[in-house]
Structure 1
Amino acid sequence: RLDNGACQGCHQAGSTAGFHFIGLDDKTTSPLNRIEVGISPHLHADIQRRVAWLHATADGKEPNRFRPLSFAPPATWNDADEIAYSPAEMAMPCLMPEDAARFGATWQCGGGTVCTPLATVSGVRTKLAQCLLPKDSESMFSGHPCLTGSIASNPAQPFNDRYTITGQIAAFAPGISRAGYTCRPPKIGVPAGIAYRGCNDKDRSFAAFKTGKPMPNEICGLVGGKKFDTCVATNNFDQCLGGAVNRGNRPACSADHFCREDYMCQSLPPDTPGIGKVKDIGFCSPTYFIFQMRIDNHATPWSGAVRATMGAGFGAAEAE
């Protein structure tokens, strides 16, 4: 999908760190490091197009040969000439109205969100944006982007593009608490920054998750931080996962509700108290947190003699 535009066409644009068929982990993988959703948002959306193609072919009809942008939401493919996109979900990609007008069929943001650009880029004509909550929204949740920025392109040396933070759009609490949302910066490994609130007792018991009700936007999942990064560098994988992973609110995700760009859906350990309330629901982590998707300089855990204790779930971690 590189035709979507350079790095974003592969690493983002509906993929997961450049992959679409990721797969799920088996029981030999540490329960603190398992993938909950094994496909990309693009593949999830594209399956409906492929099914429509097969039905048309089986019926002897001409299939719709249109290929949507890879970051487009799922669509209903009614016939050879009609495409009805579903509204884009929270924090999913969108096109700004002035740019969408230059395309054919496009989509709208759903769930009370507004198409909002997070970054300006020199030398680029089309603005990619995300469906975000309005500023000061009472529906804020952990994981929502909180920073805007500017990218200065270097055509001669694209690897020397420079990113500068230009403003803050959400999560204005001055520090981490269990009540208000603070903005965690990209330098800790969270692209575009994330709104963050610590887990309270209700969060830990998954009290907001009700049978038959819509899935809440946030869930008390797992968080790492500086202690995690420092520990992983020692190559003692067992110690890192058992002692440096704590509870913290993250966006909720599932096979029908995907994470935003540069994040992926991670599983909760099976021994998490109250796990029965959130069956088939995970939490969004930066892709680097999943060792199978490692894209930075963390030590490769299986290259050394020390291995994770496969039976050690979240019960081994310290208190927040």
Structure 2
Amino acid sequence: MRRRAIALLWALGCEPSPRTAEPAPLAAIPSDAVAATADDTRRAAPGPAAPAPAPAPRDALVLVTEPDVLDALTRSGLSLAQVGFAREAGDNAALAKDAHYRSIVDALAGDLAALAADDPRAGVGLRHTHRLFDLGWLTSEHAWFELVGVVNRVDRRPFDPRHCGETRLIYRLAHRAVQVREEVRSRLPMTVNVVLWQRDDGHGCRDVAARWLVPERSTPAQLATHLVGDDGPLAPARRGLDALAAIEIDVQTSRWPGTIRPDLGGHASYMLRVFHRAERSMVAAPLENTPDVAKLRGSKAARERLLAWLREPATLDAIDRGIAVMPASLAARSSSSFTPRGLARLGNRPFSQLLRASDVAELPLAEHASIGTPAALLRRLDALTCAGCHESRSIAGFHLLGDDADDPDRVDALAVGSSPHLLGDLPRREAYLRALAAGEPVDESRPLPDHDPIAGGHGAHCGLGDPGFAALRCASGLVCTVVDDPELGTCLGATAQAGDPCQLGTMSTQADPLRDRMRYPKDGARTCEQDGVCNGNAVGFPAGSCARTCTALGDDEACGAIPQLRPFNDCLASGRGFATCMRRTANPAAMRACDRERACRDDYICARIDGHGVCMPPYFLYQLRVDGHPP
């Protein structure tokens, strides 16, 4: 009995109480009892200690997008209203009663008003050729924000060493309406990112990292319970307003269809904002590593401060490793990004608007791996900006749109709700988390967003001759092809198969993105194999896309559906729902297959059709365009 009591005390983490009396001498015990006890002791004497059981395998959580888990988290107090504004609100009309939320709406209203003032063709709805975001969604009782992702960014410790990185809760705007007697529900192209500090509770960042290690094969309910439990990373004590670092906004402010920008395959602009909480409102904050182009152009002293920062050896090392932090005094408080064509457009490259290769040619670049030439340095700097980041291997200006529920009848669904850059970076983030949780050294370096960890697969970026991009190479059997960017090409097969680009050209770009132009030489057309046809830029396919009938599909092909442009737009203009118009006007076609391991090329997203993924232009999906939605 005494042995069992000691075992129980050890199991509870306590020591047995000290003895208060000497045991009786052995002579007081009958000799036969002593003999029996000694014999029992010999038989029960333990052998060598058994090895301690191996720790149970644990998953390292760096990204949570499973809808069942996110729904459980929302029910546990992680709605946007609760985490971002410390109030209860089931829709945006209720949330708009909060002064802090309302201040964000007012700031975006000013941005949209300025956009409309500069563009007389802009307005809300399909009757306008330049379609604007409907601000009414942000205060509507029929709209709300859905939690679509939990992102563990413990790897962002270098950006603020006072903390152990960040937790990012990503919310997407959604709405419902009745359209021609049909209920319509859709998400919209706007995300709100609630950034929470991961704070050191006095035990170091190792303990903070360990909170994200969960038992393998946890059910959605178990995972949600772990995350919001007292020891979890999203415990109530760790998600209060005192932990709020920022609220970040990414919203599609306008979209032009391909018929209006036939050389580009369409055009869309996005507003990027960051807000900090003040006593009575949210206030615009400096954007990380995003220079205020107008300020720096107008101030020689400010430009000199930027160049002085770049000349510091520690700065170059940090830029090379992807962890530089530009002085906030040089930063903009709002930024725009533009699609399609990513970093081929100067509007997405703030540093390249300010600096030329000759401005940085004298810097000691050769000793750095990822910034060995002026072109490589400028691209690395641009990729650190808000605009450059959002346009580097992203999906329609976003990196996390969220996974759609598994509804086989839905035609407005994503097969993959995360960008190629995000998915490609997850192994690095997981390795970082495991090393930190184990108390091992961590590598703080972050690769260039253009880098493809799948060794130059189809659609990956590749160098076109500048030595600074020599490490970006195509896998065997693929050819580095100029699609639109004179700096980096795209890895493609030697012949144009379903989903491959078929209109190749070069971008003539200026700081004003509305003046960008694509030029297509006569030899820029690629012949689509197997009697395929080229769906061109003018009908909304950036760089064109080969399509053919759904017969004898190859390993990287799947049968999708392409709407007939004019009938589809006429159907939408009549007030019918997106799903109805797709079913009425779309024709089956072989397209490039995609999934989490097979990314689409730039400017295409992995849409779900009949249970599988196909690469399509993003604005063919209702949820990724500001226009066509009912009021």
For residues 68-94 of structure 1, give each alpha carbon's deviation from its aligned partner in whole angstroms, at most 9, with x where no partner exists: 1212112xxxxxxxxxxx312112222
**Structure 2 match to 1:154:** 510
Q: Which amino acid aligns with 2:455?
A: P
> Aligned to 2:459, which of 91, 94, 112?
91
For 2:413, what is the secondary structure of its paired residue?
coil
Name the counterpart of 1:266.
607
Shift of 1:266: 1.0
Per the TM alignment, residue 56 of structure 1 is displaced from its structure 2 partner at its CA by 2.2
The amino acid that maps onto 1:299 is: G
Are residues 1:198 and 2:549 paired?
A: yes
After TM superposition, the structure 1 = structure 2 runs for residues 1-320 of structure 1, keeping only pairs within 5 Å, are: 5=343, 6-7=347-348, 9-10=388-389, 12-26=391-405, 31-74=410-453, 86-96=454-464, 98-99=465-466, 101-102=467-468, 106-119=471-484, 127-134=487-494, 137=495, 140-155=496-511, 157-166=512-521, 167-171=523-527, 179-200=530-551, 202-203=552-553, 216-226=555-565, 227-237=567-577, 238-269=579-610, 281-294=612-625, 298-300=627-629, 303=630
> For 1:130 and 1:185, how far apart are their aligned partners in 2?
18
Partner letter of residue 119 of structure 1?
D
Q: CA contact under 8 A between 1:41 and 1:71: conserved in structure 2?
A: no
Contact residue 549 and residue 590 of structure 2 kept, 8 A: yes
Give CA deviations for 1:19-73 in whole Å, capped at 9, x if unaligned: 1111122367961111111111011011011011112212323311221121211
- In structure 2, the CA distance between the partners of 1:171 and 1:12, relative to structure 1 (3 Å rule), is farther
Question: Is the Cα contact below 8 Å between 1:171 and 1:196 reproduced in 2?
Answer: no
TM-score scaled by length of structure 1: 0.70
Give CA deviations for 1:96-150 in whole Å, capped at 9, x if unaligned: 2x22x225x82421251111111256xxxxx02100122xx3xx42110112223
Specify whether residues 231 and 109 from structure 1 end up closer, same or farther in structure 2 by C-alpha distance, changes over 3 A only: same
RMSD of aligned Cα (Å): 2.6
One-letter amino acid matched to 1:129:
G
SS at match of 1:102: helix
What is the deviation of 1:286?
0.5
Give distance in 2, aligned partners of 1:233 and 1:111.
47
Report the residue type matching 1:180 in the other structure: D
Equivalent position amino acid for 1:284 in 2: C
- Structure 1 residues 160 and 30: alpha-carbon distance in aligned structure 2, compared to 1, 3 A threshold: farther
Between Structure 1 and Structure 2, whose CA radius of gyration is higher?
2
Q: Is the Cα contact below 8 Å between 1:222 and 1:248 reproduced in 2?
A: yes
Equivalenced residue count is 249
Partner of 1:318: none
In the aligned structure 1, how far is the partner of 2:624 from the partner of 2:400? 12
Greater RCO, 1 or 2 (C-alpha within 8 Å, sep 6+): 1
Q: Which moved more, 1:19-28 or 1:189-198?
A: 19-28
One-letter code aligned to 1:235 = G
Give the secondary structure class of the aligned counterpart of 1:198. coil
Decide which structure has greater helix share: 2
Unaligned regions of 5+ residues in structure 1, if any?
Answer: 75-85, 122-126, 174-178, 209-215, 271-280, 305-320
**Structure 2 counterpart of 1:256, which letter?**
E
Letter of the structure 2 residue corresponding to residue 234 of structure 1? S
Equivalent position SS for 2:614: strand
Letter in 2 for 1:252: A
1:193 Cα deviation after fit: 0.8
